Amino acid sequence: MNTVFDQALWAVGRGSGVVAMVLLTLSVLLGIGARSGRPVVGIPRFAVTLVHRNVSLFSLIFVVVHVVSLLFDPFAQLRLVDFFVPFLGAFKPFWLGLGTIAFDLLVVVTVTGLLRNRIGPRVFKAVHWLVYAMWPVSLVHAMGNGTNGLQPWFLVIAMLCLAAVGGALAWRLHENFVEYRNVRSQENP
Q: Which of 72, 62, 97 is nearest to 83 (CA)?
A: 97
**In angstroms, rounded to a whole number, what is the distance separating the alpha carbons of residues 132 and 75?**
31
41: contact with other proteins by CB under 8 A: no
Residues 161-180 that bind other proteins (CB under 8 A): 179-180
CB of residue 34 to other proteins, shortest distance in Å: 8
- Give all strands (DSSP E) within the chain, no chain letters: none
Radius of gyration from C-alpha coordinates of the chain: 18
**Separation CA 73–CA 16 (nearest Å):** 14
Please name the helix (run of DSSP H) or strand (run of DSSP E) that holds residue 97, with its range, or none.
helix 93-114
Q: How far is the CB of 27 from other proteins (least distance, A)?
A: 16
Candidates 72-80, 90-98, 115-123, 163-171 — which segment interacts with other proteins by CB under 8 A? 115-123
Residues linked to residue 43 through DSSP beta bridges, in sequence order: 40
| Of 55-63, 89-97, 113-121, 147-155: span binding other proteins (CB under 8 A) | 113-121
Is residue 117 at the binding interface for other proteins, with CB under 8 A as the rule?
A: yes
* CA-to-CA dists, residue 29 to 57, 101, 155, 176, angstroms: 15, 21, 19, 17
Q: Judged by CB under 8 A, which of 7, 8, 37, 79 binds other proteins?
A: 37
Contact of 74 with 1, CB cutoff 8 Å = yes
Check residue 126 for interaction with other proteins (CB under 8 A).
Answer: no
Stretches 8-16, 40-48, 87-95, 151-159: which one binds other proteins (CB under 8 A)?
40-48
92 binds other proteins (CB under 8 A): no
| Residues that contact other proteins, how many (by CB under 8 A) | 15
For Cα atoms 172, 176, 182, give the angle at the middle one, nearest 5 degrees. 150
Interface of this chain with other proteins, residues 47 to 76, rule: CB under 8 A: 49-50
User: Applying CB under 8 A, does 94 fall inside the site for other proteins?
Assistant: no
Residues that bind other proteins (CB under 8 A): 34, 37, 44-46, 49-50, 117, 120-121, 179-180, 183-184, 187
